Structure formats: structure tokens, C-alpha cells
């Protein structure tokens, strides 16, 4: 388990290193224009601070990678000395639930903008309850009740014009 975690950490740091290199070499030059009047006589331009941060990110992710490699070596050595244990795997359905929930939240955001608060709230929150395995119908009513309270609070008390 620990070894798997260390490998994942290595991959994460490697991805971060690549992203920070891309950020430094591609994104910053393309997305931060230089003002000639500023860039000519002052060393610190609009690009300097983000560039410094990108360089620091590259450095730290490289250190993170090295640390993950060290951990992998230590754990491999330890694993060779100890008998291998089978780790309990999380059920696939349970592991996928957060991603399904994220999909529904994204859908709620899109529908909120396209068809408005009332219709999107009628559709998505019950789907969220269903995805989490809720079978008690009264809970669906509680959620609608809460949504009604939120509507009244924002629309009439706080004067926010909801779509």
C-alpha cells in the first residue's frame, strides 16, 4: 500500500514538473505580453514574478520526485524483507461514486445556467441522492424543502436574481 502511494506520488510530481515546464516555456510567453516601455529599463516585468514561481515549482517538484524515488527504494527493500500481504481493494462502484457525483455537480452547474435554478434543482439533487444509494423518499422531499428555503433566502431576502 505504502509502495503504491510512493509510486503515485512520483507520478504526480513528474506530471507537476512537466506542467510547470510547459507553464514557464509556453503559457507565460503566450499569455503575458511585455510592455516595451517597461521591459526596456526595469528588470522586473509582468512576467518576472510568475516566472520565478514557475521556476520554484519546477525545483520543488523535482525535489518531490527525488523524495518519492528515495521512499520507493526504502519501501522496496523493506518489502523484500517482509512477507507480502494482500491489501483489501476498495469496491469499484464505491471508488467511482465521487466522480459520478462530480459529473452531476457539473451537470447542475450547466443546467443552472441554461434552464435556471428551479428546473435544474428539480432534476439534479434527487439524482445525486439516488447515486449515493438513498432509497427513502422522505429525504427527497427534505432536499426540495431545503432548495425552496435557499430560493426564498437568496431571491427575496438577499435580492439575488437567480437564473
Partner 1 sequence: MSLEVLQTIFSVRNLLMMNVGVAAGVTIGALPGLNVVFAIAILLPLTFGMESIAGMYLMLGAYCGAVYGGSITAILINTPGTPAACATALDGYPLNRKGRAADALKAALVASGAGGLLSAASLLFFAPVIAKASLNIQAPEYFSLCIFGLCTVIGIAGDKVIKGIIMALLGLTCSTIGIDPVEGTQRLMFGNLNLMAGLKPVSILLGVFALCEILFKSGELYGAGPGSTVGAIKYQKATIKVLDILKHWKEWLFSSIYGIVIGTVPGTGGVIAAMFSYNDAKRRSKHPEEFGQGCIEGVIAPEAANNATTAATLIPLLTFGIPGDASVAVLLGALTMQGITPGLSLFSSEGAWVYSIMLGLFLINVFMLLQGAAFTRIFANFSRIPPVLLPPCIMILCVVGAYSISNVSFDVFIMIGAGLFGFIMKKFEMPIQPFIVGLVLGELMETNLRRSLVMSAGSPAIFFTRPVSVFFLALGLLALAAPLLRAAKERNKAAG
Report the length, in residues, of the chain: 163
Least distance to partner 1, CB of residue 116, Å: 11
Binding flag, residue 64, partner 1 (CB under 8 A): yes
Nearer CB in complex with partner 1: 79/160: 160
Q: Which of residues 66-125 bind partner 1 (CB under 8 A)?
A: 67, 93-95, 97-98, 101-102, 104-106, 108-109, 112-113, 117, 121, 124-125
Closest to 62 measured CA to CA, from 13, 7, 8: 13
Nearer CB in complex with partner 1: 83/156: 156
**In the set 36, 82, 87, 159, which binds partner 1 (CB under 8 A)?**
159
All three cell numbers of 7, joined, read 509510486
Number of residues that bind partner 1 (CB under 8 A): 70
**In the set 3, 14, 21, 53, which binds partner 1 (CB under 8 A)?**
53
Q: Using the Cα atoms of residue 55, residue 60, residue 61 and residue 66 in order, give the sign of their dihedral.
A: positive
For residue 109, the tally of other CB atoms under 10 A from its CB is 12
Closest to 121 measured CA to CA, from 156, 159, 162, 160: 162
**In the set 7, 21, 45, 72, which binds partner 1 (CB under 8 A)?**
45
Amino acid at each position: 500500500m505504502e509502495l503504491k502511494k510512493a509510486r503515485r506520488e512520483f507520478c504526480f510530481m513528474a506530471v507537476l514538473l512537466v506542467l510547470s515546464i510547459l507553464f514557464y516555456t509556453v503559457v507565460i510567453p503566450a499569455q503575458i505580453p511585455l510592455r516595451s516601455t517597461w521591459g526596456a529599463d526595469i528588470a522586473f516585468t509582468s512576467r518576472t514574478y510568475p516566472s520565478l514561481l514557475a521556476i520554484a515549482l519546477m525545483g520543488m517538484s523535482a525535489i518531490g520526485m527525488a523524495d518519492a524515488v528515495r521512499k520507493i527504494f526504502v519501501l522496496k527493500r523493506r518489502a523484500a524483507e517482509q512477507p507480502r500481504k494482500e491489501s483489501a481493494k476498495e469496491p469499484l462502484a464505491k471508488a467511482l461514486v465521487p466522480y459520478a457525483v462530480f459529473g452531476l455537480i457539473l451537470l447542475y452547474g450547466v443546467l443552472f445556467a441554461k434552464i435556471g435554478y428551479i428546473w435544474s434543482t428539480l432534476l439534479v439533487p434527487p439524482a445525486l441522492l439516488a447515486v449515493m444509494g438513498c432509497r427513502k423518499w422522505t429525504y427527497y422531499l427534505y432536499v426540495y424543502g431545503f432548495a425552496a428555503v435557499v430560493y426564498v433566502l437568496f431571491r427575496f431576502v438577499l435580492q439575488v436574481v437567480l437564473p
